[in-house]
């Protein structure tokens, strides 16, 4: 499904402040896997996401999605496969538009411009039904402006919007870092449910080792631009939560 082949990413190349953010990273993620990526600041986690999503171009190496070489494909073209939820809840929505209009845009994200999805009663009911699963009471406020909601509410809606089209890959880029514990718990539970329901291939970056232990069926630890550990389902299941803390002690 996803294959990163010998990816190196160097910033400020051939300058005094040159930084190698990724150093010959190879990583394969199979369809339906839920991979959790951990690592200290500067370990290369976010750069890995940026290269995969197309926000950054690898200095060397290949990015393959479903057998297709997308290394030089622009970020907006990779959106036919990839949806991304960012750390900042403000990044995934249009604050000046209503909730229902945000969902309409999400449904059109990978659709050809000539094809339009109207905000009719059937669409509104579908959106209300989806939002109701969050248990936040927002299903009766779909005409409300998105910018009036809390960060946790917006992040939860962003997650739902990420599966409004035919996305195959969900990148969760520290989606709970800016949220309170209760909202963070809701977001991760919702993400876990959506990943299973839609059989998504998902990668979660987190600094929360408790969440890294609880979620996903594979665990990758990065350090200094390299993959330090890569634990499959059985190896991750054999871990104790204290093991993760010892890795960073």
| Exposure string over 189-226, b if 16+ CB within 10 A, otherwise e | ebbbebbeeeebbbbbbbebbebbbebbbbbbbbbebe
Angle among Cα 56, 57, 63 to the nearest 5 degrees reads 110
- Bridge partners (DSSP) of residue 82 are 169
Write out the residue range of the structural domain in which residue 240 sits.
Answer: 2-247
Pairing of strands 201-205, 169-173: parallel
Instruction: Assess contact for 93 and 157: CB atoms under 8 A.
Output: yes
pLDDT value, residue 112 = 54
pLDDT value, residue 237 = 94
- Whether 118 shows a pLDDT value over 70: the answer reads no
In the predicted model, what is the mean pLDDT of the chain? 92
Determine the Cα–Cα distance for residues 100 and 83; give it in Å rounded to an integer. Answer: 19
pLDDT per residue over 142-163, tens digit each?
999 999 999 999 999 999 999 8
- Given pLDDT bands bounded at 50, 70 and 90, which one contains residue 181? very high
- Whether 115 shows a pLDDT value over 60: the answer reads no
Token duo for residue 237: 């299941």
Q: Summarize the confidence of residues 83-111 as an average pLDDT.
A: 87
pLDDT value, residue 92 = 81
- Whether 113 shows a pLDDT value over 60: the answer reads no
pLDDT per residue over 46-91, tens digit each?
999 999 999 999 999 999 999 999 999 999 899 889 999 999 888 8
- Given pLDDT bands bounded at 50, 70 and 90, which one contains residue 1? confident
Total domains in the fold of the chain: 1
pLDDT per residue over 198-239, tens digit each?
999 999 999 999 999 999 999 999 999 999 999 999 999 999
Token duo for residue 43: 């370990």
Three-class DSSP category at 88 = coil
**89 to 38, 47, 85, 107, 193: CA distances (angstroms):** 21, 19, 8, 19, 19
φ/ψ (deg, to 5) at 199: 55, 50
- Crossing angle of helices 181-197 and 151-161, in 10° steps, is 10
pLDDT value, residue 83 = 93
- Given pLDDT bands bounded at 50, 70 and 90, which one contains residue 29? very high
- Given pLDDT bands bounded at 50, 70 and 90, which one contains residue 117? low
Q: What is the CATH number of the domain that holds 186?
A: 3.40.50.300
Token duo for residue 81: 């496969």
pLDDT value, residue 110 = 63
């Amino acid at each position: 499904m996803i294959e990163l082949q010998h990816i190196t990413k160097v910033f400020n190349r051939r300058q005094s402040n040159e930084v190698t953010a990724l150093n010959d990273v190879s990583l394969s993620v199979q369809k339906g896997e839920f991979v959790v990526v951990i690592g200290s600041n500067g370990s290369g986690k976010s750069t890995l996401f940026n290269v995969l999503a197309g926000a950054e171009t690898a200095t060397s190496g290949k990015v393959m999605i479903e057998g297709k070489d997308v290394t030089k494909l622009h970020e907006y073209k990779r959106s036919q496969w990839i949806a991304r939820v960012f750390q900042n809840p403000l990044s995934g929505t249009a604050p000046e538009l209503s909730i229902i209009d945000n969902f309409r845009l999400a449904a059109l994200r990978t659709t050809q411009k000539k094809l339009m999805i109207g905000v009719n009663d059937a669409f509104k009911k579908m959106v209300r039904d989806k939002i109701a699963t969050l248990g936040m009471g927002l299903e009766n406020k779909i005409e409300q402006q998105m910018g009036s909601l809390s960060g946790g509410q917006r992040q939860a809606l962003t997650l739902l919007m990420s599966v409004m089209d035919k996305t195959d890959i969900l990148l969760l880029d520290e989606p709970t870092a800016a949220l309170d514990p209760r909202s963070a718990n809701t977001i991760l539970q919702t993400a876990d449910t959506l990943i299973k329901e839609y059989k998504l291939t998902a990668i979660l970056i987190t600094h929360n080792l408790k969440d890294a232990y609880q979620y996903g069926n594979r665990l990758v630890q990065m350090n200094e631009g390299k993959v330090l550990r890569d634990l499959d389902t059985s190896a991750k299941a054999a871990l104790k939560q204290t093991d993760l803390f010892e890795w960073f002690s």
